Amino acid sequence: MNILIIGGSGGIGKAIIKHITRSFPEASVYATYHSTLPELKQSNITWFKTNTSLDTDIKELAEKVPSLDILINAVGFLHTFDQKPEKSVTQFTVDFFNQNLNANTLPTLLLAKHFSTHLKAKKQTYFISLSARVGSIEDNELGGWISYRCSKAALNMAIKTISIEWKFKLPNCCVFAFHPGTTDTPLSEPFQKNVPTHKLFTPAYVSQQLFKLIDKTRPTDTGKFYSFNGEELPW
């Protein structure tokens, strides 16, 4: 089994890799990082330094990776040291919006562009992107975080659109967006203080839930937005 984890250096990405190496020791894992090579070094893990917002980097990655059973995109961005998500639209800046789009939306589009042939070869394949419930337009009752919300809503639209195109071109592939729930990683760290402990998940738990979902879903389930508990979310 060949599995590609995009953003294998992130809190959830790393936990997904650990889950795979424990549960599927025979699997070959291909993983990307952006800044620092993670301490996860095993003979069945191949690392690539990749800027997932660059067409050229994703194209080059696609040339180095063999056909795949599962591709999971765990790249994401919510804040920087000096810039937190907007509480009001008056705080909106073009730069921060573009940073959100670059990290949260672009990678999935580029991955779909360059990896469709990799996901065609096997009998049953998965193309999964980590999204966020706050990207659901129907579910938005709180407002705020406008750049992150818009970038995840655009990601959701990309996933839905890719799933429709691939129903015909890659009928073996199940395409879905996955909401991990609030998970204890650097991305959520500044926003954890009001989250009750039982609602703050470990990356290990979330990875386990994602693989339960992979086990349960088939190509006929393509084009859905799933929560960590397997529930379907409105787009």
Ligand X SMILES: NC(=O)c1ccc[n+]([C@@H]2O[C@H](COP(=O)([O-])OP(=O)(O)OC[C@H]3O[C@@H](n4cnc5c(N)ncnc54)[C@H](OP(=O)(O)O)[C@@H]3O)[C@@H](O)[C@H]2O)c1
Told to check if 132 binds ligand X by CB under 6 A, we report: yes
- Binding track, positions 148-187, relative to ligand X; x by CB under 6 A: --------------------------------x-xx-xxx
Told to check if 108 binds ligand X by CB under 6 A, we report: no
Count residues near ligand X (CB under 6 A). Answer: 27
Residue ranges of alpha helices (H) inside 24-121 are 55-64, 94-104, 106-115
Binding residue for ligand X (CB under 6 A) from 2, 4, 7, 146?
7
The residues that bridge with 48 in the sheet, in sequence order, are: 32
Owner of token pair 């056909």: 67
Q: Yes or no: say if 55 and 110 are a contact pair by the CB < 8 Å rule.
A: yes
Told to check if 208 binds ligand X by CB under 6 A, we report: no
Instruction: Kindly report the number of other CB atoms within 10 A of residue 106's CB atom.
Output: 21
Binding residue for ligand X (CB under 6 A) from 5, 75, 110, 146?
75
Least Å from the CB of residue 52 to ligand X: 4
Rg (CA), the chain: 17
Q: What CA–CA distances, in Å, run from 95 to 46, 80, 91, 92, 100?
A: 33, 12, 11, 9, 9
* Number of residue whose CB is nearest ligand X: 76
171 vs 230 by CB, closer to ligand X:
230
Residues that bind ligand X (CB under 6 A): 7, 9-13, 33-35, 51-53, 74-77, 102-103, 130, 132, 180, 182-183, 185-188
